[in-house]
Amino acid sequence: MDIVAEHRKMCTKCGMCMEVCPRYDDPDLIDNLYGYLENMSRISHKTLDLCLTCGLCAVACPQEAGGIKKLISASRKKRVKEHGINEKQTILDPEADNNIFKAIMDLRQVPEYKGGNAPVVYFPGCAGSYINTSMAQATVAILEEAGIDYTVLSGLEYCCGAASAGSGNMGPLMRNGPKNIEEISNRGAKTLITACPGCFRAFKDMYPKIFGTLDFEVLQISQYLDRLINQNNLVPKETLRHRVFYHDPCHMTRGMGVYREARNVIDNIPGTQLANKTPQNSACCGFGGGVRISYPDESLKIASDVFRAAKELDCDMIITNCAGCMQNLCEAKAEESIEVVDLAEYVALSIGVSVAREDRELTGLLNKVYSSCIPDYQEPGLLDK
Ligand code: SF4
Ligand code: SF4
Backbone phi, then psi, for 380, in 5-degree steps?
A: -70, 140
Q: How far apart are CA 100 and CA 367, in angstroms?
A: 10
CA of 103 from ligand 1 middle (Å) equals 30
Residues with CB under 6 Å of ligand 1 are 21-24, 51-57, 67-69, 72
The pLDDT tens digits of the residues spanning 271-313 come to: 999 999 999 989 999 999 999 999 999 999 999 999 999 999 9
The pLDDT tens digits of the residues spanning 146-166 come to: 999 999 999 999 999 999 988
> Above 60 in pLDDT, residue 384?
no
Atom of ligand 2 nearest to the CA of 15: 5
The pLDDT tens digits of the residues spanning 135-145 come to: 999 999 999 99
> Above 60 in pLDDT, residue 382?
no
Residue nearest to atom 2 of ligand 2 (CA): 61
The boundaries of every CATH 3.40.50.1860 domain in the chain are: 100-227
Backbone phi, then psi, for 217, in 5-degree steps?
A: -80, 155
The pLDDT tens digits of the residues spanning 176-200 come to: 999 999 999 999 999 999 999 999 9
Ligand 1 binding pocket mutation candidate from 32, 57, 287 (most atoms within 8 A of CB): 57
- 3-state DSSP call for residue 226? helix
When pLDDT is averaged across residues 220-245 and rounded to a whole number, the result is 98
CA of 320 from ligand 1 middle (Å) equals 20
- Global pTM? 0.94
Q: How far apart are CA 341 and CA 334, in angstroms?
A: 15
Ligand 1 binding pocket mutation candidate from 69, 76, 294 (most atoms within 8 A of CB): 69
Q: Please give the order of strands across the beta sheet that includes 272-274.
A: 272-274, 242-246, 317-320, 339-342
When pLDDT is averaged across residues 204-229 and rounded to a whole number, the result is 98
Second CATH level (architecture) for the domain 236-353: 3-Layer(aba) Sandwich (3.40)
> Above 70 in pLDDT, residue 383?
no
> Above 50 in pLDDT, residue 327?
yes
When pLDDT is averaged across residues 2-28 and rounded to a whole number, the result is 96
CA of 69 from ligand 1 middle (Å) equals 5
Tell how strand 150-152 and strand 217-220 pair up.
unpaired
Residues with CB under 6 Å of ligand 2 are 11-17, 60-61, 63, 65, 67
Q: How far apart are CA 76 and CA 49, in angstroms?
A: 8
Q: Please give the order of strands across the beta sheet that includes 217-220.
A: 150-152, 120-123, 191-194, 217-220
When pLDDT is averaged across residues 15-44 and rounded to a whole number, the result is 96
Question: What's the whole-number average pLDDT of the chain?
Answer: 94
CA of 242 from ligand 1 middle (Å) equals 32
The pLDDT tens digits of the residues spanning 359-374 come to: 888 899 999 999 999 9
When pLDDT is averaged across residues 6-30 and rounded to a whole number, the result is 97
Non-local (6+) Cβ contacts of 84 within 8 A are: none
Atom of ligand 1 nearest to the CA of 55: 1
| Closest-approaching ligand to the CA atom of 22 | 1
CA of 42 from ligand 2 middle (Å) equals 22
- 3-state DSSP call for residue 293? helix
**Of the ranges 58-72, 130-144, 195-209, 329-343, which one carries the lowest mean pLDDT score?**
329-343
Crossing angle between the packed helical segments 343-350 and 221-230, to the nearest 10 degrees? 30
Single-letter residue type at 364 = G
Second CATH level (architecture) for the domain 100-227: 3-Layer(aba) Sandwich (3.40)
The pLDDT tens digits of the residues spanning 103-112 come to: 999 998 899 9
What proportion of the chain, given as a percentage, has pLDDT over 90?
A: 88
CA of 138 from ligand 1 middle (Å) equals 32
